[in-house]
Structure 1
Amino acid sequence: MVKAGKLGLIMLGVAGVALACAIRYAWQPSIEPLLAPAPTGADTALVAHGEQVAEVGDCMYCHTANREKPFAGGMPLDTPFGVIYSTNITPDPDTGIGRWPLDAFTRALREGVSRDGHLLYPAFPYPHFTKMSDSDIAALYAYLMSVAPVSAPAHPNDLRFPLNFRPLVAGWNLLYLKTGELQPPDRSESPAWLRGRYLVEGAAHCASCHTPMNALGAEKNGEAFAGNLIDSWNAPPLNALTRAPKPWTHTQLVDYLRTGLASEHGAAAGPMLPVTQHLGNAPESDVEAIATYLMSLQPPPAPAQPASSREKASRTDDASAQSIRGGTLFASSCAGCHASEAPMREIGGSPALGLSSVLTSDSPRDAIHLVLQGNPWNGSATAHYMPPFADVLDDDQVDDLLAYLRTQYAQRPVWKDVSRTTAAIRKEIPQP
């Protein structure tokens, strides 16, 4: 009993120290505002450099809710703790960052602190931006100060109590924010690898989506790039690309990142589609460097699955009524573009369905999303690379169709609970 009492006192003391530290870091001093926006537009080279940084960082996607008002914020970001709305990062003096000096902008990226001293939520990936160089931050600042100012007040966040109490972020920062530049690697690496590592770990913040999160919303230690769930889509592991049915190559990865299409793997969709659209505007050498670094994270290719076991699974499921129904749906709704002899498959550059990462995934979520929502053509709001079928197929029909595709093309066992998952995803689709 005495030992238990001492342990309780120790734990209480530790909690008190942690609370004191959190309070100490919860309120940061404000930085004096500019009387007028910084005149950065004249330095065209610096602004152009900053635009490239913004493309690599995909800044516009998260900070744009209305395409006619780029960087004006208002984009809802779903988190396990509620909805956070992105803020206005145009140079509007009253609702944007027009009165922010460079040192305030730098502090926000490196420490997650706003100009007025309040803490930013780590949905803004400052744990990665902290690794950015002074020159890249200054260039990004110059670019954002050159875009058209938009008056757009911040949308109130919708977070659950007590997570809506910003000072708690100080404790999160004490646990998970590691400021400072990347440490040199243990071994000699090529300039392309070093550049790719800098971009992936910094401005591109790839791990923010592709790493599992712990209960506090931080990236799990020891599981970098092991995959995650983002906006109901799978963010696949980036450290298992060579385990695909046809292992990824550097060339295929560069094609995918720059164009959104890899001829041997599939097309970008969901949250990844805008990433590829912006990387398509980034310097090609930077995208090649990103691919160089990511390919260095891969294990050896997995041994090929014996054909006999694949064929056995296929034959077993092909005999089922579900597969027959799915085959009928494929013939009527999909074969025009996806059958091996379909002209549209050649025109669109679509990969063979048996190689599609969506169909060979362990989870059906991305396949369901694509069937229901389709895939826009190069970000178009009206043209589609693949049309949506949410109004054509019901949940059970989606289940039948995917069972057919899994067994006939991916040669894998059917996914479980597809109808139920489809119903849940259907409810998440924004209504026009």
Structure 2
Amino acid sequence: MAFADTTPDDSALIKQGEYIARTGDCMACHTVGNNKPYSGGLGIKSPFGIIYSTNISPDPKFGIGDYTEKEFADAVRKGVRKDGSYLYPAMPYPSYAKMTDQDIHALYVYFMHGVQPVAEQAKQTDLSFPFNQRWGIMFWDKLFTDDGAFKPTASRSDEINRGAYLVQAAGHCGSCHTPRAISMQEKAYDDSSDQYLAGTELNGWNVPSLRAGGDGSKGIDGWSVQDIVDYLQTGRNVHAAVGGEMTAVIQHSTSHMTDADVKAIAEYLKTLPQQYAAGDSKSFSEDARKKTEDQLTQATNLTAGQRVYLDNCAACHFVSGKGAPNVFPPLAGTALANSANPTGLVSIILNGSRLPTTPKAPTQLAMPDFGWRLNDQQVADLATFIRSGWGNSQTAVSAADVKKIRAQLPPPAVTSKPGDLDGVEHYSSQKSQ
């Protein structure tokens, strides 16, 4: 591969590279909070310990300022640093390997001439033995990665091929949404396998399938192209509101993409048929949803969880469980409520959730945190009801489950707890059941 010379004043190429950095979601992983852009230090949980992102600003000492374009390309697409050591595959180089030479070139020009250098050392990854032996990743790479660039499919339209490229390559959607094998490689890196984007679990949170083809009503295959576009551009649609790690993806990446590119992604996802297990119904039961709605409306013979729901949640999500389209997400039939692992749901109840501010949805809607006012048993009762009401079909949550999840959560970034309650005995982790 030949690399062209770069000039610092090539503003068009810098702008192109900035856009490609958005499609690759570089900001979300390499910037912590309000720290300087691309200064690194974000802790990424893995089964082997915390992996910290690196400083990728053009500072020559602490960043990548002394990388040649070939060295930069090798780091992005092969996971090999300038010094020859191997990056952990928390860096999605198996997906970036599909990126075109043109995109890598523009990305390099942007990072070298469009990003401010940050002369700060990012926190260093320090895994225990044997995972601190980076040379071992060389063998993992040989077994589980492919250097081949993305190849368009002749039978697909240019739009769908563009969407496939964004999803499979720069967007690296499979890194989170494709199940992994015991050796931690993604089970598929493209749609030649029905495992690709089939959904999985990440740090206890359900990661839903992105296979949107089909006529179901329980998952994303019930979403229209416009529903997917709305979600990627604003973090909300009539079916769901973003939570967890996908929030940063929308805030820093997909909400900044062109309308054409977001639509291309949606059109591509609609070509991937959803897979259902034998005996699993595609359809959500409207009769079951209505039964719960009627019981909550009558407010008789309520369970403990239903009482907590009416007191704390019904004003926004309503007794129907449908929420308010594009404002408060539904709870009936959603992936969050129907996940086998309750961690995501319980985490949001405890710490609340804030939608990202995006160009097309600048208002930052927020769900308050309830961890300060509900004890573990109350949260367990509430989660159990949400996971079984309106036709949802998941198992009960115990107070012990909630206590464990609460202990692992950082404090909420923003709390709804009134200041005059500080120091006053109230429903807190100390009074948890």
Give the TM interval when normalised to the shorter protein.
0.7 to 0.9
Task: Name the residue aligned to 1:281.
Answer: 256
Task: Name the residue aligned to 1:159.
Answer: 127
Q: Which amino acid aligns with 2:310?
A: A
CA contact (8 A) 1:323 1:404 kept: no
Match for residue 430 of structure 1 among 410, 426, 433 = 410
Q: Post-superposition shift, 1:325?
A: 1.5
Q: Post-superposition shift, 1:211?
A: 1.2
TM-score in terms of structure 2 length: 0.81
Match for residue 76 of structure 1 among 36, 43, 51 = 43
- In the alignment, structure 1 segments of 5+ residues that lack a partner are 1-37
Match for residue 74 of structure 2 among 107, 127, 135 = 107
Q: Deviations over 1:119-156 (max 9, x none)?
A: 11111111110110111111111222211111122422
Given the superposition, is the C-alpha separation of residues 138 and 238 from structure 1 closer, same or farther in structure 2, using an over 3 Å criterion? same
Match for residue 254 of structure 1 among 229, 236, 241 = 229
Secondary structure of 1:358's counterpart equals coil
Q: Deviations over 1:199-249 (max 9, x none)?
A: 111000000001112222211255221212224322111226754437111
Match for residue 22 of structure 2 among 18, 31, 55 = 55
CA distance in structure 2 between the aligned counterparts of 1:406 and 1:241, rounded to whole angstroms: 25
Task: Name the residue aligned to 2:427.
Answer: none
Q: Does residue 230 of the first structure (1) align with residue 202 of the second (2)?
A: yes
Task: Name the residue aligned to 2:370.
Answer: 389
Q: Deviations over 1:341-374 (max 9, x none)?
A: 99xx659622443254322444423221211121
TM-score in terms of structure 1 length: 0.81
Secondary structure of 1:357's counterpart equals coil
Match for residue 379 of structure 2 among 379, 394, 398 = 398
Task: Name the residue aligned to 2:246.
Answer: 272
Q: Post-superposition shift, 1:93?
A: 1.2
Which moves more between the two structures, 246-255 or 193-202? 246-255
CA contact (8 A) 2:206 2:336 kept: no
CA distance in structure 2 between the aligned counterparts of 1:347 and 1:128, rounded to whole angstroms: 34
CA distance in structure 2 between the aligned counterparts of 1:226 and 1:330, rounded to whole angstroms: 32
Given the superposition, is the C-alpha separation of residues 353 and 183 from structure 1 closer, same or farther in structure 2, using an over 3 Å criterion? same
CA distance in structure 1 between the aligned counterparts of 2:364 and 2:289, rounded to whole angstroms: 37
Which moves more between the two structures, 299-308 or 268-277? 299-308
Q: Post-superposition shift, 1:423?
A: 2.2
The 5-angstrom pairing of residues 188-207 of structure 1 reads 188-207=155-174
Given the superposition, is the C-alpha separation of residues 346 and 219 from structure 1 closer, same or farther in structure 2, using an over 3 Å criterion? closer
CA contact (8 A) 2:384 2:396 kept: no
Task: Name the residue aligned to 2:429.
Answer: none
Q: Which amino acid aligns with 2:218?
A: P
Q: Post-superposition shift, 1:377?
A: 3.7
The share of aligned pairs that are identical, in percent, is: 37
Given the superposition, is the C-alpha separation of residues 92 and 403 from structure 1 closer, same or farther in structure 2, using an over 3 Å criterion? same
Secondary structure of 2:337's counterpart equals helix
Task: Name the residue aligned to 1:373.
Answer: 351
CA contact (8 A) 2:75 2:82 kept: yes
Q: Which amino acid aligns with 1:155?
A: K
CA distance in structure 1 between the aligned counterparts of 2:297 and 2:319, rounded to whole angstroms: 19
Secondary structure of 1:197's counterpart equals helix
CA contact (8 A) 2:384 2:397 kept: no
CA distance in structure 2 between the aligned counterparts of 1:306 and 1:276, rounded to whole angstroms: 30
Q: Which amino acid aligns with 1:112?
A: G
Q: Which amino acid aligns with 1:219?
A: E
Secondary structure of 1:253's counterpart equals helix
CA distance in structure 1 between the aligned counterparts of 2:284 and 2:184, rounded to whole angstroms: 36
Match for residue 118 of structure 1 among 85, 90, 96 = 85
Given the superposition, is the C-alpha separation of residues 209 and 104 from structure 1 closer, same or farther in structure 2, using an over 3 Å criterion? same
User: How many pairs does the alignment contain?
Assistant: 389
CA distance in structure 2 between the aligned counterparts of 1:142 and 1:296, rounded to whole angstroms: 34
Match for residue 335 of structure 1 among 314, 317, 328 = 314
Secondary structure of 1:229's counterpart equals strand
CA contact (8 A) 1:318 1:404 kept: no
Task: Name the residue aligned to 1:16.
Answer: none
Q: Which amino acid aligns with 2:83?
A: D
Q: Post-superposition shift, 1:314?
A: 9.4
CA distance in structure 1 between the aligned counterparts of 2:364 and 2:235, rounded to whole angstroms: 15
Measured on the aligned residues, the alpha-carbon RMSD in Å equals 3.2
CA distance in structure 1 between the aligned counterparts of 2:146 and 2:67, rounded to whole angstroms: 24
Which structure shows the bigger proportion of residues in helix conformation?
Answer: 1
- In the alignment, structure 2 segments of 5+ residues that lack a partner are 414-433
CA distance in structure 2 between the aligned counterparts of 1:308 and 1:430, rounded to whole angstroms: 39
Q: Post-superposition shift, 1:421?
A: 3.1
Larger Rg: 1
Q: Post-superposition shift, 1:271?
A: 0.3
Q: Deviations over 1:226-275 (max 9, x none)?
A: 21222432211122675443711111011101110011x11011100111
CA distance in structure 2 between the aligned counterparts of 1:420 and 1:205, rounded to whole angstroms: 36
Q: Post-superposition shift, 1:328?
A: 1.8
Which moves more between the two structures, 400-409 or 86-95? 400-409
